[in-house]
Structure 1
Amino acid sequence: MQPLSRRIVLVRHAKARQDGPTDAERELEDRGRADAAAAGRWLAGQGVGADHALVSAATRTRQTWEAMARAAGWDVVPDLDRGFYGAGPETAMDLIRLTPGEARTLVVIGHNPTVAYLAHLLDDGEGDVEAATAMAGGYPTGAVTLFGFGGDWADLAPATATVLAFHVARG
């Protein structure tokens, strides 16, 4: 097994309003903004920085990124991807594989069911048992899984990332 030289922060967007002009334009609720900020503070407390971010172009994911990044002290400009909005787990993994090689920590913010399925797909079963068990119990809004990964981004495949932590942010 290679050393875990890279990190993936996989996030389901924070709590959003039920209505909007379109589903993609739904905004975060006040609670969602607070939860996203709480996630950012938790990640900063874990010593997690961000070198690159892949964020669905939907309003609620962009707003999750903005609140999280502000609270974590990150100044990375995210890659807002329209295709990630409706992507399934395999397509999401393909998008992650395109991460620039110099990035050590990638933050990915998307939607369920894709994010939850991707988290389980990536899990190699060698990580933090409590975190993996909590993740298996559900992937609510504001959920964050921190993975370690020991290869090049292009080599990411099912069961190649190690769960280091799981957290459900509540502000």
Structure 2
Amino acid sequence: MNLILWRHAEAEDHASSDLARQLTPRGRKQAQGIAKWLKPRVGDDAIFLASPATRTIQTAEAFGDRYRVVDALAPGNGAQAVLDATGWPDGIGETVVVIGHQPTLGRVAALLMTGHEAEWSIKKSGVWWFQSRTRGSDGQTVLRAVITPDLL
């Protein structure tokens, strides 16, 4: 399974509620840049899961309308909720892209890399790409890529 963690792009600071915050013009450019980078790298069967927050949905829409909104990815939910929603390590699909929030995505990255949750930071519209694999009888996690909009 490929698990791609994609933090939402830059959003406005204030709105009627946290879930209603929208992307800024800069955020829309960030999301479009990452979507352009992802498109040739993920197959047509990739599953996109987005938090119910407006800013994550707008980030996902940079890739197209192939996303599902999943309440378990809402701000404040834990790392294990993200992994459960994706079916990690076997997966609900060969490639699952999660569009979510800090600090949760950073905690997922730390858990996958070290086996323990920690306060790791993922930049806005940043992507961390993990792969699960089996070697012999051992399950392994491989970090395939980390990319941020400023590197594109």
Match of 1:48 among 42, 48, 53: 42
The equivalent residue for 1:128 is none
The answer as to 2:99 corresponding to 1:106 is no
Paired residues of 1:13 and 1:142 also in contact (CA < 8 A)? yes
Q: Mark the runs of 5 or more structure 2 residues left unpaired by the alignment.
A: none
Alignment identity in percent?
33
CA drift of 1:48 comes to 2.0
Match of 2:17 among 15, 22, 27: 22
CA spacing shift, 1:102–1:14, aligned 2, 3 Å: closer
The equivalent residue for 1:3 is none
CA spacing shift, 1:102–1:30, aligned 2, 3 Å: same
Higher helix fraction: Structure 1 or Structure 2? 1
Counterpart Cα distance in 2 of 1:147 and 1:119: 9
Query: What is the aligned-residue RMSD (CA, Å)?
Result: 2.6
Give the TM-score normalised by structure 1. 0.73
Paired residues of 1:16 and 1:32 also in contact (CA < 8 A)? yes
Q: How many positions carry a matched residue from both structures?
A: 141
Match of 1:59 among 43, 54, 58: 54
Counterpart Cα distance in 2 of 1:25 and 1:66: 16
The equivalent residue for 2:72 is 83
Q: Mark the runs of 5 or more structure 1 residues left unpaired by the alignment.
A: 1-5, 126-135, 152-158
Q: Write the deviation string for residues 69-90 of structure 1: whole angstroms up to 9, x where unpaired.
A: 14xxxx62x2201232131112
CA spacing shift, 1:38–1:20, aligned 2, 3 Å: same
Counterpart Cα distance in 2 of 1:150 and 1:64: 28
